[in-house]
Amino acid sequence: MPAWPPGERPAVRLTGASKSFGSVVALRDASIDIHAGEAHALVGENGAGKSTLIKILAGAHRPDSGTLEIDGHPVEFSGTAAAKAAGIAVIYQEPTLFPDLTVAENIFIGRQPRTRFGLIDRARMNREASVLFDRLGVPLAPDRPARGLSIADQQVVEIAKAISLDARVLIMDEPTAALSGVEVDRLFAVTRSLRDDGAAVLFISHRFDEVEALCDRVTVMRDGARVSTDRLADVTIDQIVRRMVGRELGALFPKEDVDAGDVILKVDGLSREGAYRDVSFDVRAGEIVALAGLVGAGRSEVVQGIFGVDPRDSGSVQVDGQTLPPANPRAAMRAGVALVPEDRRQQGLLLDLSIIRNATLARRHRLSTLGFLIGGSERREAEEWTGRLQTRYGRLGDPAATLSGGNQQKVVLAKWLATGPKVLIVDEPTRGIDIGTKAEVHRLLSSLAADGVAIVMVSSELPEVLGMADRILVMREGRLSGELSRADATEESVMFLATGREAA
Amino acid sequence: MTVLARERDSEGGATSSTGSTLLDTVLRFRALGLLVVLAALVAVTAAVNPRFLSGSSIRDILLAASITLLLATGMTVVVLTRGIDLSVGSVLGLSAFCTAWLLSENPGVSIPVAMLVGLGIGAVCGLFNGSVVHFGRVPPLVATLGTLYVFRGVVYFVAGGSRINASDMPAGFLDFGSARVLGVPYLILISLVVLALVAVFLSRYRAGRDMYALGSSPEAAELAGIPAGRRKLTAYVLCGALAGLGGVLYAARYGTVDASAGYAMELDIVAAVVVGGVAIFGGSGSVLGAALGAFLLTVISNALPVLNIDQFWQRAIVGALIVGAIAVDRLVALRVAESLRKKGSHVG
Amino acid sequence: MSVEAGRQGRDGLHLSRFATWDVAIIVVTVVFLIFAVTSVQHFGTSQNATFLVLELAPILLLALPMTLIIVTGEIDLSVASTVGLTSSAMGVMWNSGVPLETIMPLCVVIGAVLGAVNGFFVTALGLPSLAVTIGTLALYRGLAFVLLGDTAVADFPRSHSSWTIGTIGETPIPNVLVPMIVLAGLFAAVLHAMPVGRAIFASGSNRVAAAFAGIPVAKLKFWLYVTSGAVAGLVGVFWTLRFSSARADNAHGLELTVVAAVLLGGVSIFGGKGTLPGVLAGVVLLSSLQNALRLANVSSEALTVVTGSLLIISVLAPNILGRVRGVLRRRLRRTHVPAPNP
Amino acid sequence: GGTTQDSQDDTDSGSDDSDAVADPDADYESGLSLAMLPKSVNNPYFETSSEAAAEVVDELGGDYEYTGPSDATASSQVSYINTVSQQGTDVILLSANDPNALCSSLEQARAAGTVVVTFDSDVDADCRDAFVSQVDDDAVGETLIEMAAEQIGGSGTVAILSATANATNQNAWIDVIEEQIETNPDYADIELAGVAYGDDEDEKSFQETQGLLQANPDLDAIISPTTVGIAAAARYLSSSDQQGEVALTGLGTPNQMREYVEDGTVTEFALWDPGELGELAVYTGAAIASNIITGAEGETFTAGDLGEYTVGEDGVVTLGPPARFNAENIDDYDF
Ligand SMILES: Nc1ncnc2c1ncn2[C@@H]1O[C@H](COP(=O)(O)OP(=O)(O)OP(=O)(O)O)[C@@H](O)[C@H]1O
Ligand SMILES: Nc1ncnc2c1ncn2[C@@H]1O[C@H](COP(=O)(O)OP(=O)(O)OP(=O)(O)O)[C@@H](O)[C@H]1O
Ligand SMILES: [Mg+2]
Ligand SMILES: [Mg+2]
């Protein structure tokens, strides 16, 4: 293996990039350089700014400051088309397909092969798509519409799209999150051959085995900035993880010890076709039960099924011995269940409505006098709860969209805490929020548990799971694969249950 | 690589190709459904009154359909990009009146020039709509509802109370309105040529495919680097230009033009497009479907008087047809989506 | 750094709170009324005020439920046809000897049923409301003609029809103003001061988040369509009595005027934004502008152009303002951020 | 059918509330303000009436205004009636879009002292001072069926292409035609195939003509008592195989029909002069406003060059029988 970095100039170099969305700072002085012929891993916690960084490379975001060089020449992308023209191909974290177009067209949109008269040569386009799919080892029909493709197949189309560009720089944001083993192997084979042909590859993943299998160098990001860049051979996974987190974890998880009370939430044999099957567990008063697992294991679906925002096929949910009707969130709320959803922007907030409205939406009936919401009851309630959660805002009448991500999360928490739940379900309660806020949220969960609330916490962050939970339920592929007590739980034991690799 | 992965694979392999034939069948079935309704309608009408299938009757229907067809073609392009153009009726009126006026003032103007003028007037209106929508970020419905009023007001201004009669226009132009080659009227030929061109544009040119992409997912279109502004402007200009051309044909066919030409036509055109299977939120549908929808609505409005059916039922039938068409479309789509979801899922 | 950015964001918002379109439209309306009263001859007379109220009554009534529906992100283009159909039904019932006291509530029920049909297609089947209500626009108008043909029924009792155009005692206050104010107050209360109003805004602002907060979005929309139909039925009765003429083509084309007035009042066609006072101002502005222009002998052509332009400007203006503000804010931020690396 | 106006007819008839006494020898007052409200502006027919009316008003030394909605609906007309009565206009000359819907606002206008004269299309006799009828309904109906009968040799199938079916005048004429066919022995061999409505829209009338011809293959004649309808029908026939075989007659303007008379599609049609109608409306209105007449039956007044007119039953002033136009005389007219 040649010495890194090799003598030549990097294919892509980003230096001093910063980017804010409103008051959320996603990147601060971030840098990366990727060389031709290398596969470069980019790792970091959720919200570290990885996706934002690659969106800048892709021309989808314009950095607030910083310079971008391609082959040593400074460039400024006016849009994704410019990045594409400069030879950068991107697979985004979320598939961005056109559901109404065929699979082949999705791959070649804007650069379909043409006949002499400028007409699109569909036959050739389909042939070329088939060749790509063969290369990836996936039997997708090129002329089927993208609508209805599974997440995995959508991801395959995205990969095919990126590969077909014959790009000099290939950027992949968690391309494997939804893929199965064969597809991942093929993807890696293709990627290696591209790399060996001189392409620069940037690879983002939360799976370290993949990073080890594919990459030559690794850059670690934390809080929007680069922490380190090393040859993978020179560092251990442990070191990388420490750099990702960057702090002593103890302070982050102020877990109080609580004696568990009676069973409050009882979930029995819950199933939904295509999402999860036969999920059963109990949660006691004062207990924090974590639902751990890989992304896509179906944890969100389970808690949404419990709360009733999604229909379920079979199984029952009881709160305090009382059975909840399926697909009826109102009944769940009446029984004392609260769900803080995982995607606060899509599921949690009315972004263009005021903080007051957001914070009191779930309590609108109880706050009314004689059916009318007058006399400032909503404002008082919003003031009280945002105050308790130390939310920072301009004025309560401002739209929720103006808040920083962490404060948005607090508003969603406030909305549900205000209902005085007996069962509090939090799905990724700290996703995308900063360390300080994280600690606050954890303190809050802990003290709620101390007050006798039964808490279900879905989290993809292992330290959070380990630091906060009394019990850990691990899900894999829609089923509960095991349960660990606080004492037995280690990163390894949880990961083993989550991935199914038997080691113990 | 992992156990997890292998398990998934064993189940996930079958997903891929099943959807294609299923969806294709459904799509074909839709067009087929329209054809069947059309055929049944023609058969019943002809059985009651054989004259319905006479040469002159068919010619009349084709003539009547030609203008609707033209406007539906333009509307389809706009709707595909997730827009709508409610001003087409007003644009048609403006173009019809201006062209007729031009011809009555200058009888020497040749027909192609007149057509270009109408086309140009429409294109300018379309450009205005497109600019308001794209640069002003005004929702298409609001923008074109506004220009529906504005353009009609302009027609009123231009026309005042005057009416341009057949006798004011050059005979050559009027003859063109009813003339035919090999028994086929010119007007329908023009519409069919335009239809064919737009159909080829939409299905075989990159810019045409971009229209679908824009309507299918604006976010993905942005990431894919599709020039949204240029495409949207193209769509509205095309729609306006075709409405303008429709105005010229209107003047030629009816010979009498006043300020009310094309009044309230927009809803008929939207209806034709929707019945023809074009999704009102963009991304899917074809001009051929829309043409079929336009043709079906024209045949209905021509067949019902021939059938001696109370003409008042006509509007109700058209309305029921619109709701029915989109409802059936949705039910079929839901079925397909559901079966694809179950087949496509890896878990369970 | 980030604190500073936050404060600027707030200042920007501070500005925008006072520049929201519904506030602007109310101010514009008041200013216009003052201007018209002082400088348009005959505009300020009490009789003209009466005429104005009668003229805008149907638009205002239909705009009330329309506002709620548009705030949820849907639309109902069939309202005017519903007015026509209930008017026809009223004529048919009256001709067959049904007493008016029975007819009037029945018409409201008919309207509600027609609204329920819209609601069913929109919520149960999830069809786009624009397409559905274009369809029922044609369907209901067609059925109106099927019922009554091109004939008119005109022999309604004088007492009823003169009530609709009459005034309270000797005052110039039209009788219909009372129910109008009551209904407007009711709708304003529902939208702005009652829990269901919060649910309406939530549904239009973010359907998914509304569902996650336990709001039955589909059910809510369904009942809004029913309400819209019922109000249209009421307007059908009013229209018929006011013109003493039950006809299938009553209120033809009124749907676009109603939508225009609602949008003018600052309601976003995408849902989640708007106020009822703004809409009331929109209705009053549209109608009084037309009234004043007519009194000033401006041609009906000009009225059409003014209506359309108002509609476009009402959306364009805040957009442009917003963009200008955005640019300014970015400039400001640039100056506060340390210069980017070379 | 269907319209039930009887209940109002027995309240009382003719002009009622004016207790002023007519002074037949008085002069037309000068300085009167008159407003003409057509069914809709942008209609050439009313434009012709208005031009002639404006000249007369000028001669009488009054103010004249031509205003109205751009859509021909009763509700928009109400707004304009309200507007002109607000403006204190002395006389409203109105062609009504609906016989009943305008009554309340007309009554309010009259209560404020405005004279209401309808022309071309009437409202309830209660709600106006006088109606200037283009022609006697009977005379129009009779002329129409007579022309049709002449052109088809006294026997055959006839269809009617009307405007909208609640246009008061259209229905009155159609009633007369139907009655004539049933009762007049001259028309015993004529059969009425049906009535189609073209809504006074060119395109619709065009399609309805086509529908009529297909629904009734042995149709011999079409009567279209509306200027829009007859022009559309003529246009259809002139380019169809049935040109010359199916007779077409009705009410049309010479300018619109000249072409079709020349090419043989149409033999003869009729109409009154809309300009004269406008003039007479002005004179009638001014006469009432000047107290020359009150609108009661039997009163007479002089309408300038048009000559002397007598107010008939229900306050109707009739212009005269319609003029017939054919190849011989059509070039003498220009409107
Ligand atoms: N469009 C946006 N508007 C506002 N904030 C945003 C936007 N996109 C990203 N952010 C915020 O920027 C921060 C960095 O987000 P980014 O998506 O880059 O993280 P990431 O490292 O890709 O995380 P993950 O591992 O979860 O994908 C987060 O706090 C996120 O909430
Ligand atoms: N929109 C969708 N269409 C098809 N399949 C989906 C969709 N969303 C999720 N899935 C599938 O449902 C399963 C469960 O996803 P879910 O988001 O519930 O996982 P999770 O365990 O909550 O993960 P995380 O919250 O970390 O993203 C996955 O197999 C995923 O591929
Ligand atoms: Mg990311
Ligand atoms: Mg999840």
pLDDT of residue B339: 66
Give a yes or no: residue B262 inside a domain. yes
Of A64, A90, A87, A70, residue with least CA distance to A14 = A70
Helix, strand, or coil (residue D277) = helix
d(CA C246, CA C251): 11
Specify the pLDDT at position B2: 30
Å from CA of A499 to ligand 4 middle? 16
Q: What is the pLDDT confidence band of residue A252, given thresholds at 50, 70 and 90?
A: low
Instruction: Find the Cα–Cα–Cα–Cα dihedral B133, B136, B142, B147, rounded to 10°.
Output: -80
Domain limits, chain C: 7-335
Tell me the pLDDT band of B79, cut-offs 50, 70 and 90.
Answer: very high
Residue B148 within a domain: yes
In a domain, B332, yes or no: yes
Residue C281 in tokens: 């101002």
pLDDT digits (tens, 9 = 90+) for B249-279: 999 888 878 888 888 888 889 888 988 888 8
Give the Cα separation of D235 and D243 in Å (integer). Answer: 10
Choose one of A96, A291, A295, A461 to mutate for the ligand 2 pocket test, by most ligand atoms within 8 angstroms of C-beta.
A295
D-contacting residues in C 178-237 (Cβ below 8 Å): none
Residue A1 pLDDT: 39
Q: Does C148 touch chain D (CB under 8 A)?
A: yes
Residue A219 makes CB contacts below 8 A (sequence gap 6+) with: A32, A40, A41, A42, A43, A226, A228, A229
Q: Please give the residue that has the higher pLDDT: either C181 or C337.
A: C181
What's the gap in Å between the CA of D73 and the closest CA on chain B?
A: 14
- What is the distance in A from the centroid of ligand 2 to the CA of A155? 13
Classify A79 as helix, strand or coil.
coil
Tokens representing B168 are 């004011």
Does chain A reach chain C with at least 3 CB pairs under 8 Å? yes
C222-267: pLDDT as tens digits? 999 999 999 999 999 999 999 888 989 899 889 988 998 998 888 8
User: What pLDDT is recorded for position B210?
Assistant: 93
Residue among C51, C245, C291 minimizing CB distance to D101: C245
Contact assignment for A23 to C5 by CB distance below 8 Å: yes
Strand order in the sheet with A263-272: A276-284, A263-272, A314-319, A322-323
Best of A24, A25, A430 for a ligand 1 pocket test (most atoms within 8 Å of beta carbon) = A24
Q: Is beta strand A471-476 parallel, antiparallel or unpaired with respect to A288-293?
A: parallel
| A460 C-beta closer than 6 A to ligand 2 | yes
Interval between CA A269 and ligand 4 midpoint (Å)? 20
Which chain D residue has the Cα nearest residue C293? D83
In chain B, the largest separation of any two C-alpha atoms, in whole Å, equals: 85
SS3 A328: coil
Q: Are B280 and B333 in contact (CB under 8 A)?
A: no
Domain containing residue B89: CATH number: 1.10.3470
In-domain check, residue B25: no
Quick check: C212 and A348 CB within 8 A? Answer: yes
Measure the CA–CA gap between A392 and A369, rounded to whole angstroms: 29
Give residue B209's pLDDT. Answer: 92
d(CA D206, CA D237): 9
Ligand 1, atom 5, lies closest to the CA of A21
| Atom 19 of ligand 1: nearest residue by CA position | A47
Q: What is the mean pLDDT of residues A194-220?
A: 87
Q: Is A429 in the pocket of ligand 2 (CB under 6 A)?
A: no
CA distance A388 to B147: 52
Parallel, antiparallel or unpaired: strands A471-476 and A479-485: antiparallel
Q: What is the mean pLDDT of residues A27-43?
A: 90
Average pLDDT per consecutive 10 residues, chain D (335 residues; last block may be shorter): 38 43 77 91 82 91 89 86 89 90 88 91 88 85 90 90 78 89 90 86 83 87 91 87 86 86 89 88 92 87 87 87 86 75
With pLDDT > 90 as the criterion, what percentage of chain A qualifies?
25
Distance CA C186, CA C180 (A): 10
Side-chain half-sphere CA neighbours of B240 within 13 A: 26
Judged by a CB distance cut-off of 8 A, whether residue D215 touches chain B is yes
Q: Measured at the alpha carbon of residue B265, what is the angle toward residues C229 and B207, in degrees to the nearest 5?
A: 110
- C216 — phi, psi (to 5°)? -80, 85
Residue D334: left if φ>0, alpha if ψ -120 to 50, beta else—which one? beta
Neighbouring subunits of A (3+ Cβ pairs under 8 A): B, C
Class of domain C7-335: mainly alpha
Q: Is residue B18 part of a domain?
A: no
The mean pLDDT of chain B is 82
Closest C-alpha to ligand 2, atom 14: A298
Helices (H) and strands (E) in chain C, counts: 14, 2
Output the residue whose Cα is nearest ligand 1's atom 2: A21
Give chain C positions within 8 Å (CB) of A15: 341
Chain C residue closest in CA terms to A396 = C10
The three-point CA angle D300-D306-D310 to 5° equals 20
Enclosing domain of residue B293: 57-347
Structural domain includes residue B26:
no
A373·C195 Cβ contact <8 A: yes
Between the CA of residue D105 and those of B121, C55, D10, D125, what are the distances in Å?
A: 41, 12, 21, 14
Q: What is the pLDDT of residue B77?
A: 96
Closest to D42 measured CA to CA, from D18, D69, D24, D2? D69
- Nearest to C313, CA basis, from C246, C266, C259: C266
Q: Where are the beta strands (DSSP E) in C241-327?
A: 246-247
Cβ pair D265, D244 in contact under 8 A? yes
CA distances from residue A269 to A306, A316, A327 in whole angstroms, order as listed: 11, 7, 16
**Closest-lying ligand 1 atom to the alpha carbon of residue A24:** 5
Residue C239 forms contact with D (CB below 8 Å): yes
Helix (H, G, I), strand (E, B) or coil at A256: coil
Structure confidence at residue C311 (pLDDT): 82
The whole-chain average pLDDT of chain C stands at 85
pLDDT tens for residues B147-202?
999 999 999 888 876 778 777 888 888 878 777 777 788 888 999 999 999 999 99
Does D245 lie at the interface with B, CB-CB under 8 angstroms? no
* Measured distance between the N- and C-terminal CA atoms of chain C, rounded to whole angstroms: 20
| Contact criterion met (CB < 8 Å) for A98 and B17 | no
Residue A328 has pLDDT above 80, yes or no: yes
Cα dihedral value B52, B57, B58, B64, nearest 10: -120
Position B27 scores a pLDDT of: 56
Q: Which parts of A199-353 fold into alpha helices (H)? A: 208-214, 237-245, 299-307, 329-334
Judge A/D contact: 3 or more CB pairs < 8 A. no
D contacts of C290 (beta carbons < 8 Å)? 79
B153, B156, B157, B159 alpha-carbon torsion, rounded to 10°: 150
Peptide bond just before A5 cis, omega within 30 deg: yes
Subunit contact B311:D256, Cβ cutoff 8 A: no
Cβ-defined contact of B148 to C248 (cutoff 8 Å): no
- Contact check, Cβ <8 Å, B12/A501: no
Cβ of residue A24 lying under 6 Å from some atom of ligand 1: yes
CA distance D67 to A387: 64
Q: Do D42 and B259 make contact, defined as CB atoms within 8 angstroms?
A: yes
C189, C193, C194, C199 alpha-carbon torsion, rounded to 10°: 110
Interface membership of B213 toward A (CB under 8 Å)? yes
Question: In this predicted model, what pLDDT tens digit does every residue of D178-195 receive, in sequence order?
Answer: 999 999 888 989 999 888
Q: Are D66 and D41 in contact (CB under 8 A)?
A: yes
CA of B2 to the centre of ligand 1 (A): 29
Domains (ranges, CATH) in chain A?
10-97+149-245 (3.40.50.300), 250-336+422-429+453-504 (3.40.50.300)
**Domains in chain B, number:** 1
Let me know: does A240 contact A208? Beta carbons within 8 Å: yes
Residue B41's SS3 state is: helix
pLDDT on residue D20 = 57
* Residue D181 alpha carbon to ligand 2 centre in Å: 79
Instruction: Report the range of poorest mean pLDDT among B182-186, B288-292, C46-50.
Output: B182-186
- pLDDT score, position A489: 86
Which residue lies with its CA nearest to atom 12 of ligand 1?
Answer: A26
- Per-residue CA distances from A401 to A293, C199, C251, C273, D248 (Å): 30, 19, 41, 14, 70
Is the per-residue pLDDT at C7 higher than 50? Answer: no
CA distance C267 to C250: 27
For ligand 1, the distance from its centroid to the CA atom of residue A48, given in whole angstroms, is: 7
From chain B, pick out residues whose CB is under 8 angstroms from the CB of D227: none
Contacts with A209 from chain B: Cβ below 8 Å: 1-2
pLDDT at A171: 92
Strands (E), A321-432: 322-323, 337-340, 423-427
Angstrom distance (rounded) from CA A30 to CA A28: 5
Regarding the beta carbon of A406 and ligand 1, being less than 6 Å apart is answered no
